[in-house]
């Protein structure tokens, strides 16, 4: 596979590239020199990724005659916090990183969001190059410029838009991912297909076993197709004031579950649960075509995402956590629904998310949180 390059437009009229190529990890320094030239680079990564790839990346800079220092933090979603943001920033100050420096965000979504937020705020903003090492980060968090940290009240409540100077995606690193991590990443692919692309949905259904197994050719094609969609949506709505809302399908309930579980659920697992619930809820509210929830559930099961984590929490807990989501307005919950598989729904005003009142968050939500076998969903009528 040769290098594939996509581009994302930024609000200021700039552009940044997304490079996709096996083996690209060993070429990080050359890409950084071109797209984020700096006197010195802070490679921010978690402790697990540091052991796997830290020396490779630092050696790439040394071989190119560039200065780079590994700045690790403890692995785990619960470390995407204000405390770690402060600790990393303080370490960079003590190490003498100045305004002529740049950040390399190496790792999964936690590292990408946290390192991106450090870059957005350190010295009032440094360039950042995103180098995702998990499938979920490759498909989602590395593209679009969202950075931030979690709090006890909710996920990503503190953050900033800070677009990267470049994104480097090396599909070869997926070979080191555990199966459950690959499956968690596939949640983002299912979501993208569900809201935007029926053909991609059918392709994922037909190749689910290959994708779960990490087959290189299928994985590389999936990454390019999903990232192309994400790049197009971000370019149209870089600050999430319109169509970009559709990327939040599954996230209102998913973020609530993550917060309630103390961020012990993988993000992709939580979003998979959120998609099941939001598809059922959309059907019960007459927004989503009947049978869609069963198709979503079946596709997630084929991708190894059949945990039903949503059934272990009381509806009142989910409802309260949803009201604290950053997408809420005046404590009223907003949620993205499907019209059908391959198409997101719009409300009567043309918005891509729906305000849920107390009635919708009562019995309809409680019913949607029950397993499909208990929820009384209509049989799948077949669909397109």
CA 145 to chain CA centroid, nearest Å: 11
Percent of the chain scoring above 70 in pLDDT: 94
Three-class secondary structure of residue 156 per DSSP: strand
Helix residue spans in 250-351 (DSSP H): 251-260, 267-284, 292-302, 315-323
pLDDT digits (tens, 9 = 90+) for 293-329: 999 999 999 999 988 788 878 888 998 888 876 566 5
The mean per-residue pLDDT over the stretch 330-346 comes to: 89
pLDDT at 373: 54
pLDDT at 111: 97
| Confidence (pTM) | 0.85
Q: Round to whole Å and give the CA distance between 185 and 148.
A: 20
Is the model more confident about 322 or about 147? Answer: 147
Q: Round to whole Å and give the CA distance between 359 and 81.
A: 34
pLDDT digits (tens, 9 = 90+) for 161-197: 999 999 999 988 888 889 999 999 999 999 999 999 9
Q: Round to whole Å and give the CA distance between 278 and 282.
A: 6
Residues 6+ apart with CB under 8 A from 265: 257, 258, 273, 309
Partners of 106 in the β-ladder: 45, 131
pLDDT at 88: 98
Q: Round to whole Å and give the CA distance between 32 and 66.
A: 10
In the block, residue with structure tokens 């849920």: 356
Beta strands in the chain (DSSP E): 4-9, 15-20, 40-46, 67-73, 101-107, 128-132, 146-151, 154-161, 166-169, 333-335, 338-340, 343-344, 354-356
pLDDT digits (tens, 9 = 90+) for 349-374: 899 999 988 877 888 898 998 865 55
Residues 6+ apart with CB under 8 A from 28: 57, 60, 61, 104, 129, 131, 168
**β-pair type (101-107, 128-132):** parallel
| Whether 113 contacts 146, CB under 8 Å | yes
List the catalytic residues: 124, 146, 188, 230, 240, 244, 248, 251, 255, 267
The mean per-residue pLDDT over the stretch 19-23 comes to: 90
Q: Round to whole Å and give the CA distance between 223 and 210.
A: 14
pLDDT at 264: 84
pLDDT at 379: 40
Rg (CA), the chain: 20
Region class of 377: left (phi > 0), else alpha (psi between -120 and 50), else beta: beta
pLDDT at 380: 43
Of 13-22, 76-85, 202-211, 268-277, the poorest mean pLDDT is in: 13-22
Residues in the chain: 384
pLDDT at 378: 43
Average pLDDT over all residues of the chain? 90
Of the candidates 111, 103, 101, 165, the residue with the CA atom closest to the CA atom of residue 138: 111
Three-class secondary structure of residue 1 per DSSP: coil
Distances (CA, A) of 136 to 142, 193, 211, 269: 9, 14, 13, 11
Residues 6+ apart with CB under 8 A from 178: none
The mean per-residue pLDDT over the stretch 113-123 comes to: 98
The 3-state secondary structure of 171-201, one letter per residue: HHHHHHCCHHHHHHHHHHHHHHHHHHCHHHH
Give the pLDDT band of residue 382 (cuts 50, 70, 90): very low
Q: Round to whole Å and give the CA distance between 10 and 27.
A: 25
Give the pLDDT band of residue 383 (cuts 50, 70, 90): very low
């Amino acid at each position: 596979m040769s290098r594939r390059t996509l581009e994302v437009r930024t609000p200021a009229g700039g552009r940044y590239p997304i490079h996709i190529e096996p083996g690209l990890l060993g070429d990080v320094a050359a890409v950084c020199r071109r797209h984020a030239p700096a006197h010195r680079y802070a490679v921010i990564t978690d402790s697990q990724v540091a052991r796997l790839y830290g020396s490779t990346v630092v050696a790439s800079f040394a071989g190119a005659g560039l200065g780079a220092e590994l700045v690790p933090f403890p692995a785990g979603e619960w470390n995407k916090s204000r405390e770690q943001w402060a600790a990393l920033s303080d370490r960079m100050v003590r190490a003498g990183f100045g305004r002529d420096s740049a950040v390399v965000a190496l790792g999964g979504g936690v590292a990408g969001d946290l390192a991106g937020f450090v870059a957005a705020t350190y010295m009032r903003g440094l360039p950042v190059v995103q180098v995702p090492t998990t499938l979920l980060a490759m498909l989602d968090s590395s593209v679009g410029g969202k950075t931030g940290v979690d709090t006890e009240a909710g996920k990503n409540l503190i953050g900033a838009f800070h677009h990267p100077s470049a994104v480097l995606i090396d599909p070869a690193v997926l070979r080191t991912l555990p199966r459950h991590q690959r499956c968690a990443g596939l949640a983002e692919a299912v979501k993208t297909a569900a809201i935007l692309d029926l053909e991609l949905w059918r392709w994922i259904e037909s190749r689910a076993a290959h994708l779960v197994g990490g087959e290189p050719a299928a994985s590389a094609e999936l990454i390019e197709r999903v990232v192309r969609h994400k790049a197009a949506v971000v370019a149209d709505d870089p600050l999430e004031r319109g169509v970009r809302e559709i990327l939040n399908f599954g996230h209102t309930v998913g973020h609530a579950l993550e917060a309630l579980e103390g961020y012990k659920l993988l993000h992709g697992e939580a979003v998979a649960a959120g998609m099941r619930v939001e598809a059922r809820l959309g059907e019960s509210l007459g927004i989503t075509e009947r049978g869609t929830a069963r198709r979503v559930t079946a596709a997630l099961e084929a991708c190894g995402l059949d945990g039903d984590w949503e059934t272990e929490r009381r509806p009142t807990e989910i409802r309260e956590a949803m009201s604290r989501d950053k997408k809420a307005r005046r404590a009223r919950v907003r949620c993205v629904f499907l019209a059908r598989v391959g198409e997101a729904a719009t409300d009567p005003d043309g918005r891509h998310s729906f305000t849920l009142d107390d009635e919708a968050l009562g019995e309809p939500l409680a019913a949607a949180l029950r397993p499909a076998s208990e929820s009384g969903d209509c049989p799948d009528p077949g669909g397109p």
